[in-house]
Structure 1
Amino acid sequence: METTTPFTTFTSYDGTRLAFRTLGDGPPLLCLPGGPGRAAEYLGDLGGLGAHRTLVLPDTRGTGASAAAADPASYRVDRLVADVEALRRRLGLDRIDLLGHSAGGSLALLYAAAHPDRLASLTLVTPSFAAVGLPSDTGAEAVIAARAAEPWHPEAVAAYRRMKAARSFAEAAPHRLAFEPLMYGRWDAAARAHAAADEAQRSLTVSEHFYAGYRPDVEALRHRLAAVSCPVLLVAGELDLWPTAAAAADAAALFPAATLTVQPGAGHYPWLDDPQAFTAGVEGFLASGNGITATPSL
């Protein structure tokens, strides 16, 4: 399959026009972006994973090239499951290799619970566990304290406290950039550029509605996820705050047999902190007899 970059659009269940693009070569890997409410552009080629997989990169409704929804309530995480299923159908795949990052991990978990028979594999990269009622910040204060020698630490921690106290994404937004060094393993030029792009790539409307009014049926979700039979990879960053490696280790028990990888020195975007390690880990998982080999209808 040849690499392509233009957006392809399709109509979801309620008539909303959604967009995705493909990047790379090889078997397809459907990648759900997080934020919540950030266009998939920030995923890049996932640290070179596109050299091994055709990355299918959808923009969540209301973000990037996807149209805004007539009903903002459809931005809620559980209702977005229907968009993922609509995209699977558009791709013409009976089963999909699914990757979810951050809040996209919450969406991927809900998709797995609703459509386990449609999954060939599930890769959760530094995912949020909010959708399944589990904490994501277990031990976060210890992770923060371990980075106290960093020159940006006092300002970033102060911004972190303000964001934690914020009552909305809009209220937290002015503090996001100052907080961002805590989300990367290395606060270098690449990390600064990646963080600075957030504001232009994010829809605060989608952010605000993503979890608004959502109350997970924790017992039912855990029961469904415990029955998921496809291979599951859970990638955590050693230095990440949401989720911490400790929270990811606890969440691995949601599945009957999940592989947990904690990437050393990595934050919330492990493909930026060590592209080679990230790509080797994810591709190794996908290539070890897991996943699909079919070509989607793009």
Structure 2
Amino acid sequence: MPIFRAPDGTRLAFHLRGEGEPLVALPGGPMRASSYLGTLGGLDAHRQLVLLDLRGTGESGTPADPATYRCDRLVDDVEALRRHLGLERMDVVAHSAGGSLALLYAARYPRRVGRLALVTATPWALGRPATAEDRLAAARMRASEPWFADAFPAFEAWLDGTGDFDPVFLPFFYGRWDDTARAHADREEAETNDAAADVYGAEGAYDPEATRSALARVTAPVLVLAGGADGGPAPALARRVAEVFPKAEFVVQPGAGHYPWLDDPQWFTRRVSAFFA
């Protein structure tokens, strides 16, 4: 397991999967260990995945200052990784909350990004969170599922603030609620640093207007991939992320939820590997 140091001295770890040109993977959660990404559906057959454990997660160390869990401050860690890898420019794939980290990195270091793929990326950094209406609309598309009757009321209550998070509605985050999805969901609590997640989007983390302006000058090719069954972000919201960049492709993976590489690994890998090729 390779180790490097952040500018503030925090010990950071990353994991290598596969062979070939490096492809840096930024995990979501927020603040979930990169192990949940697996091989991104077999993407490691095309590129060497560099799975970064953000500070305080996975095999990385805990910082002395918890305020450094904030998304904009994590940009320094991503740049330290690029320097450690010795890359003039790096290709990046970012998932979910990691998409906001990737957006902030591209805004600050546009010349250091080769290609960027944003996978079901929540655009908090652009001031556009997923809405409860989008999530419920996506959830209603699953009405024929055998678990829907129990899951939907709990999901609705959680979104309107009258109920707590309940694992009963986890199926809404997956395009297929099968044994693979269940095992993946079961690991989330152990893989996530909840205290760090609370800081990730704290006040001051994002400056949407400045970020949007900076990204309009990014010349790197960008792929924005949405899941057809995902409500956070819904495809319409993900499309608005693509519109920020001068050179972006937008694609919807049919039937996919928030973890599209699990729902249809072949479709996902074929589309993403073609972009990075």
Q: Same fold (TM over 0.5)?
A: yes
CA distance in 1, matches of 2:208, 2:85: 31
Q: Is the 8 A contact 1:96 1:118 kept in 2?
A: yes
TM-score, structure 1 normalization: 0.89
Identity of aligned residues (%): 53
For residues 253-275 of structure 1, the C-alpha deviation after alignment (integer angstroms, 9 at most, x for no partner) is: 11112101100010000000000
Listed one character per residue, the Cα deviations across residues 41-81 of structure 1 (whole Å, up to 9, x for unaligned) are 00000000000100000111001100111111100101000
1:134–1:251 CA contact under 8 A, matched in 2 = no
Alpha-carbon distance between aligned partners in 1 of 2:50 and 2:161, rounded to the nearest angstrom = 34
Unaligned segments of structure 2, at least 5 residues: none
Amino acid at match of 2:262: L
Asked if residue 219 in structure 1 is aligned to residue 209 in structure 2, the reply is yes
**How far off its partner does 1:229 sit?**
0.1
SS at match of 1:18: strand
Query: Does residue 201 of the first structure (1) align with residue 196 of the second (2)?
Result: no
Counterpart mapping for 1:94-173 below 5 A = 94-137=88-131, 139-165=134-160
Q: Distance in 1 between matches of 2:137 and 2:159?
A: 16
| 1:273-292 superposed matches below 5 A | 273-287=263-277
TM-score normalised over the length of structure 2: 0.96
- C-alpha contact (below 8 Å) 2:32/2:193 kept by paired residues: yes
Provide the secondary structure at the position in 1 that maps to 2:23: strand
Distance in 2 (CA, whole Å) between partners of 1:231 and 1:267 is: 24
SS at match of 1:55: strand
Corresponding residue for residue 83 of structure 2: 89
Cα deviation digits, residues 241-286 of structure 1 (max 9, x gap):
1111111112211111210110001000000000000000000011
Once the 2 structures are TM-superposed, how far is the Cα of residue 86 of structure 1 from its aligned partner? 0.5
Please give the alpha-carbon distance, in whole angstroms, between the structure 2 residues aligned to 1:12 and 1:272.
32
Gaps of 5+ in 1: 1-6, 288-298
Residue 150 (structure 1) shift: 1.1
Give the 3 Å change call, closer, same or farther, for CA 275–62 of structure 1 in structure 2: same
Other-structure match for 1:255: 245
1:272 aligns with 2:262: yes
Matched, 1:243 2:233: yes
Contact 1:139 1:246 in 2 (8 A): no
Q: Distance in 2 between matches of 1:166 and 1:11?
A: 40
For residue 164 of structure 1, report the CA deviation from its aligned partner: 2.6
Amino acid at match of 2:176: R
Q: Is the 2:10–2:61 Cα contact (8 Å) retained in structure 1?
A: yes
For the Cα contact (< 8 Å) 1:136–1:248, is it kept in 2?
no
Superposition deviation, residue 166 in structure 1: 5.3
- How many residue pairs match? The answer is 276
Q: Distance in 2 between matches of 1:199 and 1:218?
A: 30
Matched, 1:39 2:33: yes
1: CA distance, partners of 2:142 / 2:160 = 21
Which residue matches 1:292? Answer: none
Give a deviation string over 1:83-102, Cα, whole Å, max 9, x none: 00001001010100011100
Partner of 2:54: 60
What SS does structure 1 have at the residue aligned with 2:68? Answer: helix
Aligned to 1:290: none
* Displacement after TM superposition at 1:156 (Å): 2.2
**Superposition pairs of residues 176-191 of structure 1, within 5 angstroms:** 177-191=167-181
- Structure 2: distance between partners of 1:203 and 1:213: 19
RMSD over aligned Cα atoms: 1.6
SS of aligned partner of 2:182? helix
